[in-house]
């Protein structure tokens, strides 16, 4: 899969580490049937550029490249109140000398506060040009287009980036990740049996799936839903993966059965903490010194832990966890992740 024909801005000058997590693997095994469990590896995409990085950085390399190629001077995107995607988009805009506007969707009424810590603090510190807050369920594309029209009326040229950077152009970032992983498996002589990834706006899951299939990497990918259960999530991932493959024009048809996701671990609601997430965040922090966030990676790791305890993985499997970042939002949930306040049931 040739990515060289697409405009790209490089925000990371190295391959993110591929690390074994031995102490976490041992602690996980102790809680699995028979005291045995899989070996867990971590792909450190939390170390990507546009610090503190995360999976959106890979997508933005291609999205911002496309925006600059079109002559844009402004980026417009959307997300939830503690959106990692918005924060990294703003960071890219600052680096490129572009203006940046957000449309924030309050999926939980009253949840956005300009003065909150975490990513909201970083929005202000990095100098976001404007934040428009809309209620949950609002038409986000329409709301962003309204901002783009205002930019145009002022003589600017806006480039709209969808939530999570999840479209075919953004998905190219995880085709690049698939190629990077393929090289690391070879160089480190690592045999991975399964990959666990977050599945939300679908760009990471779909892009990685297209990259694996297109590069003949025959490792199954399991998506852990962070906002939807499989019946609703899997068609979105399949659509995204096919859109990425079509953009690359390689004649690849994504088999529907290749899209696998697991639900339940995001409940009771997107971004609302639960006990399994708290356990996962504490467990990885206290065994490996790796920090997860409450909205995404904490719930994704909770899914991995839950599947291991259900014997979904074979005891001798090497399972790769894709760490997609999200550190700043951890600070907005300090009391719950430290057990000072109770999470949802």
Dump pLDDT digits (tens) for 56-87: 999 999 999 999 999 999 999 999 999 999 99
Of residues 63 and 328, more confidently modeled: 63
Q: Is 108 a residue whose pLDDT tops 90?
A: no
Given pLDDT bands bounded at 50, 70 and 90, which one contains residue 107? confident
Q: Is 83 a catalytic residue?
A: yes
Please provide the distance, in angstroms rounded to a whole number, between the alpha carbons at the two ends of the chain: 45
Backbone angles phi, psi at 228, to 5 degrees: -145, 155
Q: What is the mean pLDDT of the chain?
A: 96
Domains of the chain as residue ranges with CATH: 18-54+167-337 (3.40.50.1100), 56-165 (3.40.50.1100)
CA 155 to CA 145: how far, in whole Å? 15
Dump pLDDT digits (tens) for 110-147: 999 998 999 999 999 999 999 999 999 999 999 999 99
- What is the pLDDT averaged over residues 156-179? 97
Percent of the chain exceeding pLDDT 70 equals 100
Exactly one of 13, 31, 83, 117 is catalytic; name it. 83
Measured over the CA atoms of residue 319, residue 325, residue 327 and residue 329, the dihedral's sign is: negative
Given pLDDT bands bounded at 50, 70 and 90, which one contains residue 345? low
Q: With beta carbons less than 8 A apart as the criterion, state whether 93 and 99 touch.
A: yes
Threshold 0.85, pTM exceeds: yes
CA 95 to CA 150: how far, in whole Å? 23
- What is the pLDDT averaged over residues 174-197? 98
From the CB of residue 338, how many other CB atoms can be counted at a distance below 10 Å?
11
Dump pLDDT digits (tens) for 287-320: 999 999 999 999 999 999 999 999 999 998 999 9
Dump pLDDT digits (tens) for 10-66: 999 999 999 999 999 999 999 999 999 999 999 999 999 997 889 999 999 999 999
- What is the pLDDT averaged over residues 164-179? 97
In 155-218, beta strands by DSSP E: 158-160, 194-199
Cα of 5 vs its chain's centroid, Å: 25
């Amino acid at each position: 899969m040739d990515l060289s024909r697409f405009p790209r801005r490089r925000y990371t000058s190295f391959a993110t580490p591929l690390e074994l997590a031995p102490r976490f693997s041992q602690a996980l095994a102790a809680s699995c049937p028979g005291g045995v469990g899989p070996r867990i590896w971590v792909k450190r995409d939390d170390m990507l550029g546009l610090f503190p990085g995360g999976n959106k950085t890979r997508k933005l390399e291609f999205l911002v490249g496309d925006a600059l190629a079109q002559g844009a001077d402004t980026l417009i995107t959307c997300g939830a109140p503690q959106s990692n995607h918005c924060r990294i988009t703003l960071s890219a805009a600052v680096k490129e000398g572009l203006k940046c506007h957000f449309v924030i969707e309050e999926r939980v009424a009253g949840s956005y506060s300009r003065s909150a810590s975490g990513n909201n603090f970083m929005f202000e510190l990095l100098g976001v040009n404007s934040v428009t807050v809309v209620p949950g369920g609002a038409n986000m594309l329409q709301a962003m287009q309204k901002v783009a029209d205002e930019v145009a009326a002022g003589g600017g040229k806006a480039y709209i980036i969808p939530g999570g950077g999840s479209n075919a152009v953004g998905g190219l970032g995880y085709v690049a990740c698939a190629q990077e992983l393929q090289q690391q498996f070879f160089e480190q002589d690592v045999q991975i049996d399964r990959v666990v990834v977050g599945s939300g706006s679908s760009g990471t899951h779909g892009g990685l799936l297209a990259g694996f299939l297109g590069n003949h990497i025959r490792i199954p990918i399991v998506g852990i839903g962070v906002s939807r259960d499989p019946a609703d999530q899997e068609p979105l991932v399949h659509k995204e993966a096919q859109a990425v493959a079509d953009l690359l024009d390689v004649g690849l048809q994504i088999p529907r059965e290749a899209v696998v996701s697991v639900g339940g671990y995001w409940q009771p609601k997107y971004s609302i903490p639960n006990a399994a997430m708290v356990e996962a965040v504490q467990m990885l922090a206290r065994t490996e010194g790796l920090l997860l966030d409450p909205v995404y990676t904490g719930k994704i790791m909770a899914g991995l832990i839950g599947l291991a305890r259900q014997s979904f993985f074979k005891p001798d499997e090497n399972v790769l966890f894709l760490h997609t970042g999200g550190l700043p939002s951890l600070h907005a949930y300090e009391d719950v992740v430290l057990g000072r306040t109770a999470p949802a049931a």
